[in-house]
Structure 1
Amino acid sequence: MKRKADKEKIGFIERFCSAQEHKARISLIVAAAVVVTTFGTVCAASLRINSGASVPSDNMELNAAENYLAQAAIQAGASEDIQFIDGSEFIADETTETSTRNTKRGGLTGEHIVDLSDLQSLSDSELVDAILAGKAGVIDRSQIITDQSQDSAPVHSGTVGNGGGSENITSPDPVAENVPTPTLAPITTVTYELGIDVSGWNGRINWNRVKEAGISYAFIRIGGRGYGQAGNTYEDSMFSTNLWGAKNAGVKVGVYFFSQATNAYEGLEEASLTLAKLGGASLDLPVIMDWETEYDGQHRTQYTSGEDLYNAILAFCSTIAQNGYTPGVYLDGGNINRLGSLFWDVISRYKFWYAYPYSVYNPYSSKYEKNMYETGDTVPPRDYWYEYWQYSWWGRVPGIDGDVDLDLRILGKTTLTAPEINLPSSQMTSEAGQEFNPLNGVTATTSQGNTDTSNLSYVIKNSSGQEVSLETARNTVGTYSIRYSYKDAFRGTVTADAIWTVNVASTPEPSPSASDTSETEPTGSTDPTGGGSDPSESTDPTGGSDPSTENPPTESTADPNANPDNGSGQEGGTTTEP
């Protein structure tokens, strides 16, 4: 009885720690573990729901913080003194709020501004900040109003009148009147690829013929926005056909959106439509925001400020970049001026496509010289870099009906030296009637430093300055000038001069004939050994003919009355130079 009473007096903790209570201790530990685990799981789930943390973050440091909070929730069941630790302490400096769950590269994971009215209610600067931070995402295709009637024929500033040859220049950045002129000094030119930009307005395109014509790349319109005040967007109905047609022909592709955005929201809207239409298709070249205007008082972009344009560009290009494509912007000189100092920030961020056509490529202009850019032609000298240059709005390319925009992709620079004609000598001589080829030994050094023997030509003139044929000159005694010309593929034509003297042909020494031998040698001299031959036979090498019947000698010296000038050098009907 006493022992039982003693047990009743012993406290719970003492009994739990007693070796005599081993079985009870095991049972209590198991029961406590089950209770704590269940309670902790419920608390952790409650905390996750309340914090909106149902979507795991790509930020591993943020996940570590969340795990710590969950552990704290479990411990909360055992003590009310536990204090929750702010998860931001576990997050790198680049991410400042746990609620946004942005990746370090500003990706589009986590919470965004998804309500359209919220996006539209933001100021331009607020929206740009949200886009740059990766919080705005893209606008769903179903929320973008499109109107195909807004797709009107493209109109360029400075377009030449319809075949009349009278230029109607309205742009503040007039078309350049540049005539590339070869010089003999070394010049620096560009290495390049030829390109075009097209839209549904170019009709059906035979992309194989385009490729065969030397076109390496194409920017294809994906959509646009109307010129008018409504400014609704539209899709290019020929985009998919052109995209895959160009790809299958081996033409590198980029895309452009004909922008009429006047604020950041419209820039975001245009980028969103572009991405929806692309559907993840791979591209070789950038996605371009082609921003243009007209100065006719009707275009919605005419009075857009530089700051509004800048915000629209940032919204479009940043959204494109955040979705895995390379962004770029197309501008002419007038809109570069519109941006002012903001232009430098734009081209430091994005690819630049410069619109500045030259009259030498305009068939409707009196300055027209050629259809396409050629090596050695000049490019607009600017103090800023542009990778793409739109140099013509009036190009002709096999496989495309009508005019098409022509572009140049500048890959680098190279130096072209002066081409040169290499003569073996500047003084040449021959004799009248002698074969003579003025091109023997003549070569040319091209502007790229190669040796060439093609594209060489010459003109021969007599001392009176009259042009004569090679046949006449080589048979006529006199002095002639030869003007050599070489046409270099990139630097034009160079010349070199030589003097050609045709002398009187010298009289050749005659070879002794058999009859000459019979007259000059004594009888029997043909047998100096006296070998028993008939001396009379030695004077008749013909085999016994009568010496009295032989032909007289052909030497002119047999006629003492002959004119001593007759053998002075003219032979075979040759004449002296008139």
Structure 2
Amino acid sequence: MEEGSGMQARSSTNVKGIDVSHWQGAIDWSKVATDGVKYVFIKATEGVSGVDSRLWANALAASSAGIKVGYYHYARPENNNDAVKEARHFASTVAGYPCQWPLVLDVEGEASKLGARALTQWCAAFLTELERASGRRAMIYSGASFARTYLGKELAGWPLWIAHYSVDKPMDNSTWDRWAIFQYSDKGRVAGIAGNVDLNAMEAEFYGRYAEEDEPMTKEEREAFEQLSAQVAQLAGTVDSLTKQLESATAKIPAPKWFVSEFGESVVAQMSDPTGTMEFWRAVAVSLRTMGYQKV
């Protein structure tokens, strides 16, 4: 297209969805499903080895709640990563997961360090290998300004998921004349999710083309899947609890009252950094007791 001929604006026929990662924490997907959310894209992988810590829990629970699931990979070409290796990592990680949508390459941020020509070639190599390795269609996500500046015409054959906030019509670019998905807000509020979440509009035609791609589960498969989902949700809750305990245990704090009561303020005043973890204060206390230190 000629730049400026215009992408389409968001409309009432678009289908509402969200995208999530571990940053959203534990999600109540049954509540999400009651808030008009028809689909979700879940962060799966990053770079050549990263896997999102909530991928498995989100995929199982969202699918069990009847939400149509897809996945995205956050690219790290600026780390001199090979496009084929990143694509294979993504494909192998989500193999066997419930999936209705094309697999997504998320390219933004520091990927710009490659420059437009090299980055376009990197993305084309990634998308080509991803489709080969996964047997699925691929698509590309990027911010409107980023796409306009860095993503060349060689990528026009892959569907576009574009991000541009607080507007009804995203910025035009010279590679794509239409978007398949439009991320129009990063401050959405959805039932079942604490805090903000990205909101997306999907073209109705695109939704209809892919929404029923996977074969529906049998009654027995659905029951087994729901049991596994419940187990994963319970495990995720346990992991969240342990994570909070670990964060608490490793947090640096001022001298506890029991320490000051036993050894006095003068000991603390002599420290270059009068903060430490609870384990640190216990270790100092043991050391002072061993030396026979008496409070002044």
Q: Contact 1:264 / 1:315 at 8 angstroms: preserved in 2?
A: no
- Give the structure 1 partner of residue 143 of structure 2: 332
- Give the structure 2 partner of residue 312 of structure 1: 122
Cα distance change of structure 1 residues 283 and 264 upon mapping to structure 2, 3 Å threshold: farther
Report whether the alignment pairs 1:234 with 2:54: no
Counterpart Cα distance in 2 of 1:287 and 1:263: 22
- Give the structure 2 partner of residue 408 of structure 1: 201
Report Cα offsets for 1:97-127 as digits up to 9, x if no partner: xxxxxxxxxxxxxxxxxxxxxxxxxxxxxxx
Report Cα offsets for 1:252-294 as digits up to 9, x if no partner: 111001112249952212211111211333410111010110x
After superposition, where does 1:12-23 map in structure 2 within 5 Å? none
Aligned AA for 1:355?
A
Aligned AA for 1:380?
P
After superposition, where does 1:54-203 map in structure 2 within 5 Å? 189-203=11-25
TM-superposed CA distance for 1:339, in Å, is 2.9
- Give the structure 2 partner of residue 388 of structure 1: 181
Displaced runs of 4+ in structure 1, greater than 6 A? Answer: none
Aligned AA for 1:346?
L
Q: Contact 1:357 / 1:393 at 8 angstroms: preserved in 2?
A: yes
Counterpart Cα distance in 1 of 2:15 and 2:130: 25
Aligned residue-pair number: 194
Report Cα offsets for 1:214-248 as digits up to 9, x if no partner: 000000000113xxxxxx64110110110111110
Which SS does the other structure have where 2:183 is aligned?
strand
Cα distance change of structure 1 residues 264 and 320 upon mapping to structure 2, 3 Å threshold: farther
Counterpart Cα distance in 1 of 2:130 and 2:70: 13
Which SS does the other structure have where 1:303 is aligned?
helix
Which SS does the other structure have where 1:220 is aligned?
strand
Report Cα offsets for 1:280-328 as digits up to 9, x if no partner: 33410111010110xxxxx4x3422112211221121111211311101
Report Cα offsets for 1:187-236 as digits up to 9, x if no partner: 994511100000011100111100100000000000113xxxxxx64110
Q: Contact 2:42 / 2:55 at 8 angstroms: preserved in 1?
A: yes
After superposition, where does 1:242-253 map in structure 2 within 5 Å? 242-253=58-69
| Partner residue of 1:345 out of 135, 146, 154 | 154
Counterpart Cα distance in 2 of 1:380 and 1:302: 20
Aligned AA for 1:199?
S
Cα distance change of structure 1 residues 316 and 204 upon mapping to structure 2, 3 Å threshold: same
Q: Contact 1:253 / 1:283 at 8 angstroms: preserved in 2?
A: yes
- Give the structure 1 partner of residue 268 of structure 2: none
Counterpart Cα distance in 2 of 1:379 and 1:408: 11
Report whether the alignment pairs 1:379 with 2:169: yes
Q: Contact 1:190 / 1:412 at 8 angstroms: preserved in 2?
A: no
Q: Contact 1:265 / 1:315 at 8 angstroms: preserved in 2?
A: no
Which SS does the other structure have where 1:254 is aligned?
strand
| Partner residue of 2:165 out of 348, 357, 361 | 357
Counterpart Cα distance in 1 of 2:11 and 2:18: 21
Aligned AA for 2:181?
Y
Give me the TM-score of the superposition, normalised by structure 2.
Answer: 0.60
Q: Contact 2:120 / 2:154 at 8 angstroms: preserved in 1?
A: no
| Partner residue of 1:216 out of 38, 52, 63 | 38
Cα distance change of structure 1 residues 238 and 337 upon mapping to structure 2, 3 Å threshold: same
Cα distance change of structure 1 residues 331 and 209 upon mapping to structure 2, 3 Å threshold: same
Counterpart Cα distance in 2 of 1:292 and 1:188: 22
Q: Contact 1:256 / 1:287 at 8 angstroms: preserved in 2?
A: yes
Unpaired segments of 5 or more residues in structure 2? 1-8, 207-296
Cα distance change of structure 1 residues 188 and 353 upon mapping to structure 2, 3 Å threshold: closer
Q: Contact 1:216 / 1:251 at 8 angstroms: preserved in 2?
A: yes
TM-superposed CA distance for 1:379, in Å, is 3.4
Give me the TM-score of the superposition, normalised by structure 1.
Answer: 0.32
Counterpart Cα distance in 2 of 1:407 and 1:188: 10
Question: RMSD across aligned C-alpha pairs, in angstroms?
Answer: 2.5
Counterpart Cα distance in 1 of 2:59 and 2:10: 35
Aligned AA for 1:313?
C
**Structure with larger Rg:** 1
Q: Contact 1:264 / 1:311 at 8 angstroms: preserved in 2?
A: no
Cα distance change of structure 1 residues 313 and 263 upon mapping to structure 2, 3 Å threshold: farther
Cα distance change of structure 1 residues 407 and 311 upon mapping to structure 2, 3 Å threshold: same
- Give the structure 2 partner of residue 281 of structure 1: 97
Counterpart Cα distance in 2 of 1:196 and 1:387: 14
User: If each structure's helix is expressed as a fraction of its own residues, which one has the higher value?
Assistant: 2
